[in-house]
Amino acid sequence: MSQGPIPKSWISAIHAYVPGKSTGADGRPLIKLSANENPLGTSPAALAARADAAGPHRYPDPDSKDLRRAIAEVHGLDPALVVMGTGSDELLNLAAQGYAGVGDEVLFPRYSFSVYDIAARRCGATPVVADDLDYGTDVDALLALVSERTRVVFIANPNNPTGSYLPKGELERLHAGLPGDVLLVIDQAYAEYVAPEDDDGGFALAKAHGNVLVTRTFSKIYGLAGERVGWGTGAAGIIDTLNRIRGPFNVTNNAQCHGDGGGRRP
């Protein structure tokens, strides 16, 4: 038998994701602490909204118009500057794919979300890991590693898995130190757990600058991890880039129905 196709070298360097066990030896479901699933479960209102969804024989709205409009209304954003993803994971991967490639570098702190390393390698870029500061983000360490090859910088704020948090002033300092052609991705998967007065100013940075993408997810505080729905906001050029390469039907009918298309807000 002839040899099969050979994957790109950077794909072979990726360690495939190994999920934790969902059931025990006796068949009982397990609580996976590493997944950070909402222990309170899903809101009854969100579950009820499923009745409004189109049947599974219909493709979902490829633009998620109603859900984007509902998200924009809640957060004071322009719906045209909201992009939907199959969880925020898809958007993190698309950010790397859209702006980095072979010969480029993707920078992120040590002890941050494992997807950043995978996202870099998927597009052939080199992952660069900055030293941490007490298991949190060290702005100076990140800026010291920025080079002419840096294309994307990932920051989880609050950080997963350590729970550390970069305050607004430090996040602004990080952005100010980056060249304008470097994309700063602020991964706010846990933003809803932060007190309003401690907001890191990510949305304001995304509104004011052309090189900031903020991503969020419904998987954590909203208890909708199984629906796989995330979203992001940034400048028009960034949103256009992500829309060009995302899956065309990436948010299911059930997930979209949690927006105001079913009379309920996200």
Q: What is the mean pLDDT of residues 54-59?
A: 81
Listed as own residue / partner, the contacts of 137-141 with beta carbons closer than 8 Å and 24 or more positions apart are 137/109, 137/112, 137/164, 137/166, 137/170, 137/174, 138/109, 139/166, 139/170, 139/173, 139/174, 139/177, 141/109
Q: Above 50 in pLDDT, residue 265?
A: no
Q: Which band of pLDDT confidence, cut at 50, 70 and 90, is reported for residue 4?
A: confident
- Separation CA 194–CA 18 (nearest Å): 29
Q: How many CB atoms lie within 10 A of CB 262?
A: 21
pLDDT at residue 44, rounded to an integer: 82
Q: Above 50 in pLDDT, residue 264?
A: no
Listed as own residue / partner, the contacts of 34-37 with beta carbons closer than 8 Å and 24 or more positions apart are 34/161, 35/225, 36/160, 36/220, 37/219, 37/223, 37/225
- Separation CA 190–CA 221 (nearest Å): 7
DSSP β-ladder status, 126-130 and 82-85 = unpaired
Q: Above 70 in pLDDT, residue 57?
A: yes
Segment (H or E) for 87: helix 87-99
pLDDT at residue 7, rounded to an integer: 85
Encode pLDDT of 84-132 as tens digits. Answer: 999 999 999 999 999 999 999 999 999 999 999 999 999 999 999 999 9
pLDDT at residue 61, rounded to an integer: 85
- In this structure, are residues 158 and 193 in contact, taking their beta carbons and an 8 Å threshold? yes
Encode pLDDT of 222-245 as tens digits. Answer: 888 888 999 999 999 999 999 999
pLDDT at residue 1, rounded to an integer: 62
- In this structure, are residues 214 and 206 in contact, taking their beta carbons and an 8 Å threshold? yes
Segment (H or E) for 92: helix 87-99
pLDDT at residue 223, rounded to an integer: 81
Q: Above 70 in pLDDT, residue 261?
A: no
What six digits make up the tokens of 40? 């309170």
Q: Above 50 in pLDDT, residue 266?
A: no
Q: Strands of 82-85's sheet, edge to edge?
A: 82-85, 230-234, 212-217, 183-187, 150-156, 105-109, 126-130
Q: Above 70 in pLDDT, residue 151?
A: yes
pLDDT at residue 24, rounded to an integer: 82
What six digits make up the tokens of 262? 């079913």
**Which domains occur in the chain, in start order?**
78-262 (3.40.640.10)
- In this structure, are residues 160 and 192 in contact, taking their beta carbons and an 8 Å threshold? no
Q: Which band of pLDDT confidence, cut at 50, 70 and 90, is reported for residue 260?
A: very low
Q: Above 50 in pLDDT, residue 8?
A: yes
The mean pLDDT of the chain is 89
User: What single DSSP character describes residue 29?
Assistant: B
